Chains A and B, each alone.
Chain A
Amino acid sequence: MEKSSSPKEPESSPAPGRCSPLGWLEERLDLAPLKEFVRHKAVPVHKHSHWYYLGGMTLFLFLVQVITGILLLLYYQPSESNAFESVRFVMTQVRFGWLIRSIHGWCANLVMALAFSHMFSTFFLKSYRKPRELTWVSGMLLLGLMLGFGFSGYLLPWNTLSYFATMVGTNIAGALPGLGPFVLRFLRGGDSITGATLTRFFGFHVAILPAITAPVLMLHLWLIQKQGMSLPVSVEEKHRAEGSKPPELRFFPDFLIRELMGWYIALAVLAGLAALFPWELGVKADPFASAPPGIQPEWYFLFMFQTLKYIPAKILSLDGEVLGILAFGLGGVLWLLVPFIDRGPATGNWSRRVRQAGVFVVIYIIVMTAVAYVLKESR
C-alpha cells in the first residue's frame, strides 16, 4: 500500500524551540520548505559578482520611497490651492519634514540611477538570455513604471518648474500620431494643466502606479528566486569547458550581510545629500505667468528632450517631433524585446552587434544628457 503524501502529522513530543514565536508559526504554517529554500539559496562568486548587488539596492531604495511617500501623504493636500502650501508646511513646520521630503526627492533620483545601472549591467552581462527573458521584460516594465512615478511625482509640489515640465512632457505624449490627443486629455484630465491634472497625477502616483508595480515586482522577484542568478557568458563557458561549477556564496547570511552593508552606504549617501542639499520647493506655479528660462525635465528624460530639440521641424513632409517620438518609441520596444532579438549563440556575430548597439545607446544617453546640462549652464 502506498504511503499517504499528506503533510506530516505534528510530532507527539514538542521540538526544541516550539515555544518561541517562530516555533508557534512553524506548527501552523509548516515553514520547513521556506527554511530549506533559504538554507540552499546561493549566489555564484566570480569577477562580475558585484553587479548582483544593484538589483537589491534598487529595491531597497524603492522601499525607502514607499515609506517616505506614505509619510508625506499624512500632510500633502492634492489641490491647486493647497498642494504647494502643504509641501511648504511640511518643509517649514513639521518636525523633520524637510528631511523626509528631501530624502523622497533625492531617493527618486537614486532609484532611477540604480535602475538604469541595473538594467545596463544585466544587458551587458547578457543575463536576459534563455530562460530569463521574462525577468528582463518584467524588469523593463518596472523601469517604465519608475519613470511614471518620477513623471507623476514631479508635478505634485505644484511649483513653476514642475508645472512647465509637465506641460512639455504631456505635450510630447500628445504629439503621438493617432492616439496623441486622447493621451493628452487622459493625462491632463482636460485640455490644459489645471488642478484636475494635479489630482489625476496624484492618483497615478499613489494608487494606480503602485497597484501595477506591486504584482510586476512580485513577478520579477519570483522569477529571480525561481531561476537563480545568471552567470555571465564568459564565466559560464569557462566552467563548462572545465566541467566545474563556480564557487558559491550562501545567500543567508553571507550575501545578505554584504547587501545590508550596501544599503547602509546608500542610506548614508541619501541622508548626506538630503542634509547638505535639501530638496528645493521653488515658486508656486502660476498658469498665467510665462515659463522661466531653462525649463528642463528630470535628468533621466533629458536625452530625449535634448534630441527632440535637434530634430528639424519638418523632415520630408512629416512633422519632425512626431518622427522623433516614434523613433524613441521604436527604440524602447526593441530594447524591451532584446532577449528575443539576441537569440543566437552568445559569442556569435549577431550577439556582438546587439552588444555594440547597447554601447552606442549608453554613449548616446550620456552625451545628450551632458550636452543638455552644458547648454543650460552656458545660457
Chain B
Amino acid sequence: MDDLNRRRLLQSLVGSGIGASIFSFLYPIINFILPPPSQGSGAESKEVGSENDLKPNSGIVFQFGNEPALLVRTEEGELRAFTAICTHLGCTVTYDPGSKVIWCPCHNGMFDLHGRNIAGPPPRPLSEYKVNLRNGKIVVAKGA
C-alpha cells in the first residue's frame, strides 16, 4: 500500500471515529432534552357536583384529567360538556351568559352550545364530552 492510500485510509478511519463519537454524544443528549410523553391522569370520567349546583344559563370550568373542561347548563336546562381548550391557540374558554355562547377571551373566538366554531379565529369545534346524571350527581365522561 503506497503512502497516499495509507494516508487516505487513516484519514477516513479517524474521520469515521470522530463522526461516530459525535453521534454517540449527541444521540443521548438530544433524546434526554426531549421530555417523555406526558402520562396523563388516566381520568375517563369525573363527577362534577350535584345537578342543582348549576343554574340554567351558566357554566363552570373544571379540571378533567390534566386539562380544563367546561360544563354548561343551557337556558332550557340541558347539560353539555366540552374541552375548555380553544382550538385557536389553546386559551381556556368560558361560558358567556349574556350572548349565550362559549367565548374565548384571548382572541374573541366564539362557539355555539354544540361546540361549533361560529365566530372569530378558532378553526375547529370544541370536542364534546358525555354528560350523565347518577343519583343526582353530574358525571362527565370522555367519548361523546
**A residues engaging B (CB < 8 A)?**
67, 71, 74-75, 93-97, 99-100, 264
Tell which of B31-39, B104-112, B116-124, B126-134 binds the partner.
B31-39
**B21 — which chain A residues lie within 8 A by C-beta?**
264
| Contact in complex: B33, A74 (CB < 8 Å) | yes
**B29 — which chain A residues lie within 8 A by C-beta?**
67, 71, 96, 100
Selected from A67, A93, A96, the residue in CB contact (under 8 A) with B31 is A96
Interface membership of B98, Cβ < 8 A: no
Q: Which A-chain residue is minimally distant from B18 (CB atoms)?
A: A260
Interface membership of B40, Cβ < 8 A: no
**B residues engaging A (CB < 8 A)?**
21, 28-29, 31-36
A87 to chain B, nearest CB (A): 14
| Contact in complex: A99, B36 (CB < 8 Å) | no
**A264 — which chain B residues lie within 8 A by C-beta?**
21
**A71 — which chain B residues lie within 8 A by C-beta?**
29, 32-33
7 closest A-B pairs (Cβ-Cβ)?
A: A96-B28, A95-B31, A96-B32, A93-B36, A96-B31, A100-B32, A71-B32
| Contact in complex: A94, B28 (CB < 8 Å) | no
**B31 — which chain A residues lie within 8 A by C-beta?**
95-96
Report the bound CA distance from A99 to B29 in whole Å: 10
8 A-B residue pairs with Cβ-Cβ distance under 8 Å, sorted by A, are A71-B32, A71-B33, A93-B36, A94-B35, A95-B28, A95-B34, A100-B28, A100-B32
Q: Which A-chain residue is minimally distant from B38 (CB atoms)?
A: A93
Report the bound CA distance from A94 to B33 in whole Å: 8
Q: Which A-chain residue is minimally distant from B32 (CB atoms)?
A: A96
| Contact in complex: B28, A99 (CB < 8 Å) | yes
Max chain B C-beta neighbours (<10 A), residue from A74, A95, A97, A100: A95
B134 to chain A, nearest CB (A): 34
Report the bound CA distance from A93 to B34 in whole Å: 11
Max chain B C-beta neighbours (<10 A), residue from A67, A71, A96: A96
B91 to chain A, nearest CB (A): 26
Report the bound CA distance from A100 to B34 in whole Å: 13
**B35 — which chain A residues lie within 8 A by C-beta?**
75, 94
Report the bound CA distance from A95 to B21 in whole Å: 19
A93 to chain B, nearest CB (A): 5
Q: Which A-chain residue is minimally distant from B37 (CB atoms)?
A: A93
Q: Which B-chain residue is minimally distant from A96 (CB atoms)?
A: B28
Report the bound CA distance from A62 to B36 in whole Å: 28
Report the bound CA distance from A75 to B36 in whole Å: 11
Contacts beyond the supplied A96-B28, A96-B31, A264-B21: 10 A-B pairs with Cβ under 8 Å? A67-B29, A71-B29, A71-B32, A71-B33, A94-B32, A95-B31, A95-B34, A96-B29, A97-B32, A100-B32
**B28 — which chain A residues lie within 8 A by C-beta?**
95-96, 99-100
B23 to chain A, nearest CB (A): 14
Report the bound CA distance from A100 to B29 in whole Å: 8
B36 to chain A, nearest CB (A): 5
B40 to chain A, nearest CB (A): 13
Report the bound CA distance from A263 to B8 in whole Å: 25
A74 to chain B, nearest CB (A): 6
**A99 — which chain B residues lie within 8 A by C-beta?**
28
Max chain A C-beta neighbours (<10 A), residue from B28, B31, B32, B36: B32
Q: Which B-chain residue is minimally distant from A101 (CB atoms)?
A: B32
Report the bound CA distance from A69 to B36 in whole Å: 19
Q: Which A-chain residue is minimally distant from B39 (CB atoms)?
A: A93
B35 to chain A, nearest CB (A): 7
**B33 — which chain A residues lie within 8 A by C-beta?**
71, 74
Q: Which B-chain residue is minimally distant from A264 (CB atoms)?
A: B21
